Amino acid sequence: MLDAGRVAHVAVHDEAGQPYVVPVAHARDGDVVLFHGSTGSRLFRALAEGAPTCLTVTLLDGLVLARSLFESSMHYRSAMVLGSAAPLEDDEKVRALEKLSEHLMPGRSADARGPNRKELAATLVLALPLTEWSVKVSAGPPDDAAEDLDRPVWAGVVPLVTTAGTPVAAPDLRGGPPVPAYVMTWQHG
Amino acid sequence: MLDAGRVAHVAVHDEAGQPYVVPVAHARDGDVVLFHGSTGSRLFRALAEGAPTCLTVTLLDGLVLARSLFESSMHYRSAMVLGSAAPLEDDEKVRALEKLSEHLMPGRSADARGPNRKELAATLVLALPLTEWSVKVSAGPPDDAAEDLDRPVWAGVVPLVTTAGTPVAAPDLRGGPPVPAYVMTWQHG
């Protein structure tokens, strides 16, 4: 699920106990989850200092239309990872940024320029160990009670599919390079 | 953004300060965000008792392929709501459940059977006031540095689109009712 998810949500709370949930780009690397943020962000600095956190990835696969509202729901896959993250340094950080890029667009990191010293200094890359985690999956047809089955209404599942639309070239693109194969064949989740 | 998002992520932390982030179905209703869960869930009971929370909705609109990894990113819209939620009772609860259904599948709540007393008792519906919130939007073409523009590689944005696939009828569907128009015309986000 971590590999299939496109965006993760990470929580951290401040001294007053107020939680914050922020979307992050993530990637699994063996037995850690990587994610990154700006060194300018107070929340990311707290995470880098080891604040307890939770990272959740959810894939919404479909809408379940049951005969009753109570049994109507969503098909989803969700993974929740608990723990504390640690910041990566130097070479580890460069490799992690490539992993994060490859997670969303396999093939891209070979084409794009890697980070320079200044860019690396502005980026926090955090690794959250996969030691405490849980997964939830909701799948299958609507689970209506027997007394609802005669209700004269359609019931079933509407699958949700995310696809890549037509790529939009940067207005300042020079020399007319073709759209790469990894863009044309992209699919995820 | 709250209206366009399909799933929200809600955080709450336990006595030890460990945060948890869970996906929920949500809907905006005027100046509150509604979401629901099971009365059997410890996290939802903590939320119903007014634990400080954060609800975040993120829409992932596209992948930004810049010439550098540093400028490569995602197009997204994200709304973060902070505060404490309060549980709804009785008639308010029934109306809120209809709102939650209509959020994901407009038109459905008129067809599906509404909740009975037992179902209502098993469901917590929470309302989080829209008093403290922030939004973030990332849009536009890649923002590469001038010195990267001659890199001979395609750059641009790959839009991500979520659509409904072919509906799958429940195996125990009786009497052959047609797929409703609201399913066939569904689009969201």
Question: Six-digit token pair at A76?
Answer: 């989803």
| Among chain B residues, CA nearest to A15 | B17
Contact (CB<8Å) A19/B171: no
Q: Which CATH architecture has domain B8-143+177-184?
A: Roll (2.30)
Going across the sheet that includes A32-38, the strands are A26-29, A32-38, A123-129, A86-87
Report which of residues B84 and B41 the model is more confident about. Answer: B84
Summary mean pLDDT of chain A: 95
The residue of chain B nearest to residue A55, with distances taken between CA atoms, is B21
Confidence at residue B46, expressed as pLDDT on a 0 to 100 scale: 94
Interface of B with A in 69-128 (CB under 8 A): 69-70, 72-74, 76, 78, 80, 82, 97-98, 101, 104-105, 108-109, 111-116, 119, 123
CA-closest candidate to residue B93, choices B68, B121, B63, B71: B121
Positive or negative, the CA dihedral A48, A10, B158, B139 is negative
Residue B39: band (very low, low, confident or very high) from pLDDT cuts 50, 70, 90: confident
CA dist., res. A14 & res. A17, Å (int): 5
CATH code matching the domain that covers A8-141, chosen among 2.60.120.260, 3.10.580.10, 2.30.110.10, 3.30.9.10: 2.30.110.10
pLDDT tens digits, B88-134: 998 899 999 999 999 999 999 999 999 999 999 999 999 999 999 99
- Interacting residues of B165 by C-beta distance below 8 A, sequence separation 6+: A62, A158, A159, A160, A161
CB contact under 8 A, A11 and B23: no
Specify the pLDDT at position B40: 83
When pLDDT is cut at 50, 70 and 90, the band that residue B37 belongs to is confident
Global pTM reads 0.96
pLDDT of residue B90: 85
Q: Which two tokens stand for residue A111?
A: 């084409």
Asked if A11's CB is within 8 angstroms of B69's CB, the reply is: no
CA distance B117 to chain A (A): 11
Instruction: Provide the percentage of residues in chain B whose pLDDT is more than 70.
Output: 99
Q: Which conformational region is residue A57 in: left (phi greater than 0), alpha (psi within -120 to 50 degrees), or beta?
A: beta
How confident is the model at residue A41, as a pLDDT? 87
Which among A67, A76, A98 has the least Cβ separation from residue B112? Answer: A67
Contacts of B148 (CB under 8 A, 6+ apart): A113, B66, B67, B68, B71
Report residue A185: phi and psi, to 5°.
-105, 10
B68 to chain A, any CB pair closer than 8 A? The answer is yes
pLDDT of amino acid A189: 57
ipTM: 0.95
Token pair, residue B182, equals 């609201």
Here the tokens at position A124 are 């926090």
Task: Decide if pLDDT at B58 tops 80.
Answer: yes
Q: Is A163 on the interface with B (CB under 8 A)?
A: yes
Residues of chain A with pLDDT under 50: none
pLDDT, position B189: 56
How far is residue A95's CA from residue A163's CA, in Å, rounded to a whole number? 27
